[in-house]
Structure 1
């Protein structure tokens, strides 16, 4: 799928989430793409505040289809929902928790944690911190993503 189409889907979802006053932010490879660290992204990872799970689920059900649950033992995230919106995978993550060396690392999203925004198709898109995602990727053992961030961070503002 072309990047413009994926960004159009992001802005459509973003408009709905903003209108519903949901605390949310973009993370993972889409964040790295938007910061110029990657040339493409495969899906959209949206981190939300746990209090906004039911409102977010209702919105995404209007825009797409909920996929069957597919648990992963590397995570103990409070709520992980996978949707298909116009053939694009959308991951909704609330209460992000990474398991590393039998320890749980809990990263809830709070409004005050969102420091950066980008405008896409006239919609304000909140972004998580690249440094936070470097920490997450390190805990997940995703060394290729850590290297991408480390190689690009010096050019980052």
Structure 2
């Protein structure tokens, strides 16, 4: 999947879903900051209130892909789509089953950062999600980037 295709689809999604109540995370977010060389898919996080409406819109835009129950992911809303070979995942009410019960992530649409016409999640939110999803390599990768960025900002002031 070429970069322009992913960006093109992301741009089309802004037209489809509108400018509020959702944002892009995952590998596309990391690529936007130069952390990851290539985005593999589009991870969309939205408010629980808008999940069903967005799911309906996406099902008219892309091919719905069946999702099987995951052993620990227990999000209140999750749907997977495919568009020109690109996987698009829509998530809302994100929850993960841990030893001490369900742990959740609350998406805050007001934290969305618009860059090049696309709504991106905060890197710190995605760090929290990678910790929740128990993805240690991603956590270390993102923590390193945030630490480096923090030091750069500190020394410049």
Q: TM-score, normalised by structure 2?
A: 0.87
1:145 to 112, 131, 138: 138
Whole-angstrom distance in 1 between the partners of 2:51 and 2:127: 25
**1:76 matched to 2:69:** no
Q: TM-score, normalised by structure 1?
A: 0.87
**1:100 matched to 2:93:** no
Residue 6 of structure 2: aligned partner: 6
1:155 to 145, 149, 153: 149
Aligned positions of 1:3-152 closer than 5 A: 3-18=3-18, 22-114=20-112, 116-119=113-116, 124-152=117-145
Cα drift, residue 33 of structure 1:
1.0
Cα drift, residue 125 of structure 1:
1.7
Whole-angstrom distance in 2 between the partners of 1:86 and 1:127: 22
Larger Rg: 2
The answer to whether the 8 Å contact 2:105/2:129 transfers is no
Cα drift, residue 22 of structure 1:
4.4
Whole-angstrom distance in 1 between the partners of 2:94 and 2:138: 18
Residues paired across the two proteins, number:
150
The answer to whether the 8 Å contact 2:46/2:107 transfers is yes
Cα drift, residue 109 of structure 1:
2.0
Deviation sequence 1:33-79 (CA, Å, 0-9, x none): 11111101111000011111222122112211111122212211001
Whole-angstrom distance in 2 between the partners of 1:111 and 1:137: 18
* Structure 1 vs Structure 2 CA RMSD: 1.7
Deviation sequence 1:68-100 (CA, Å, 0-9, x none): 122212211001000011221000001111222
Whole-angstrom distance in 1 between the partners of 2:106 and 2:24: 14
